[in-house]
A and B are shown apart, each in its own frame.
Chain A
């Protein structure tokens, strides 16, 4: 009997310790929580495109002014207009302007924005695949710290670029632009701080957000 009591007390102590060391949670509850937390990049991009992006259109810098700053004072261009999500030599810019189409290539237009209009100043992307984060970052509206997993932040760029192709580039190309046409645009570009150090300054590439023939 004494032994039985001893074992009973020992068992009770062990049971007490084990009970407070282990937690049981319903697997279905966990799965439901995870489903609620599932991120939909396409929906996010849609909401951004429809309801947020237009709010920064008035912050777009005139492309002629920006190119002038790139050539004379890159640091000032970065300070005044550049956006980057973290530490980078590449900054994104929201830009606007108009110009004349000088060349129509497979994936881009070469456009002159200067009055003399003999040499191209910018390239406007018109391909059906757009890499990069220009629109996402130039807007300054999406904060990487909103996302617990940066892959979600990355997926947003891909979805925004798909919208650009479908809703900006394709309709523009259906209007059958020609060399010599004048266009008006608002878009985003990414330029390295070291761009002006290259032997030849490359034409800046603009991802269009708004693009129309005049």
Chain B
């Protein structure tokens, strides 16, 4: 019995030593790779199912590659568990920085913390996490102010009266509430503007179409739809076309995505808020490069202004930015 117990203990100790030995070899290999080749930057995007985020990820990758890094894009598929797995792989894989589009403002904090503890700085892009202690910097769209401006335009186009529907984004994303609250901070001051329905379509085009189709059954006479992003605006527009109401109901989006910019050009969708994914992604890559070269004095939060795009000023804009920036 004592012999068997002794052998069991030895087996456990041996297993422990083996595992830590493997980690050291991997670290040594990573150090060797670093010494010999390009440093690696990871780009972690909340979802690649939305073209806006594809542009965000690809621009970050492109800029980081221009700065001399090897870059890999990771898709979290809007799932904090997948996101966590990506962070584990990134930390183990010897990446020197993470350009990060969080899935959840609270749920993603732990991932950024573990990368910080592993010595890998994280640069948040577009969305924030609700902590100032763990990311190197957070480059954010000023969604609230953007939607204040959109709300003012909405009021003007609606002539201060009418019924509208609101489609919200992902409920765990701060951007959902920044946009909605910015919009309502203006619109709720006009008592003749009535919101008949407010539901989430999770920033998804197909869901938005389904939600609005269903909403139109209950509220067939509406004057406008405010959507928390452009993918939902396109879905809402599709639903209105199918219902024969596209020329009677105004649609407002938010993002500055290609299909909505084209739609505004064509006089269909009324307005959107131009976020600047390329600008934010480039900033994040450049700041990661500065960090790797020694800079540390980054402001924790950097809001990037959103600009109102309407049928009146559409000539200044193209997909994901201004004509002058392409």
Contact = CB atoms under 8 A, between A and B. Distances in A.
Given A9-B5, A148-B132, A87 B185 contact: no
Interface string A65-89: 0000000000000000000111111
A147 B132 CA distance: 7
Contacts of A87: 279, 283, 302-305
B5 A145 contact: no
B189 A129 contact: yes
B207 interface: no
Contact of A154 (B12, B182, B304, B307): B182
B181 A149 contact: no
Nearest to A1: B1
A85 B301 CA distance: 9
User: Which interface residue of B128, B177, B305 has the most chain A CB atoms within 10 A?
Assistant: B305
B145 interface: yes
A89 to B, nearest CB: 7
Contacts of B301: 86, 144-145, 147, 150
Contacts of A151: 144, 174, 177-178, 181
Interface in A148-205: 148-151, 154, 158
Nearest to A190: B145
Given A2-B4, A132-B148, A154-B144, A86 B178 contact: no
B10 to A, nearest CB: 13
Given A85-B303, A88-B305, A89-B307, A154 B128 contact: no
B186 interface: yes
A150 B303 contact: yes
B178 A150 contact: yes
A18 interface: no
B165 interface: no
Contacts of B299: 143-145
A9 B305 contact: no
B285 to A, nearest CB: 15
A133 B148 CA distance: 10
A86 B279 CA distance: 13
Contacts of A85: 142, 303
Interface residues of B, number: 35
Contacts of A30: none
Nearest to A127: B189
B140 A13 contact: no
Interface in B72-108: 105
Given A6-B4, A87-B305, A150-B140, A131 B152 contact: yes
Nearest to A5: B1
Nearest to A10: B8
Contacts of A2: 1, 4
Nearest to B182: A154
A143 B303 CA distance: 11
B199 interface: no
B305 A90 contact: yes
B305 A86 contact: yes
A31 to B, nearest CB: 15
Contacts of B263: none
User: Which interface residue of B1, B145, B151 has the most chain A CB atoms within 10 A?
Assistant: B145
B105 A149 contact: yes
Contacts of B140: 86, 150
B30 to A, nearest CB: 27
B323 interface: no
Contacts of B128: 149-150
A87 B304 CA distance: 5
A142 to B, nearest CB: 12
Contact of B131 (A5, A6, A148): A148
Nearest to A145: B300
Interface string B1-25: 1001100100010000000000000
What are the nearest 6 A-B pairs in CB distance? A86-B303, A88-B305, A145-B300, A154-B144, A129-B189, A87-B304
17 contacts: A1-B1, A2-B1, A85-B303, A86-B142, A86-B301, A86-B305, A87-B305, A88-B303, A88-B305, A131-B186, A132-B148, A144-B299, A144-B303, A145-B132, A149-B128, A150-B128, A151-B178
Interface of B: 1, 4-5, 8, 12, 105, 128, 130-132, 140, 142, 144-145, 148, 151-152, 174, 177-178, 181-182, 185-186, 189, 279, 283, 299-305, 307
Given A131-B185, A149-B105, A150-B178, 13 more contacts: A6-B8, A86-B301, A88-B142, A88-B303, A89-B305, A131-B148, A131-B151, A132-B148, A150-B128, A150-B140, A151-B174, A154-B144, A154-B178
Interface of A: 1-2, 5-6, 9, 13, 84-90, 129, 131-133, 143-145, 147-151, 154, 158
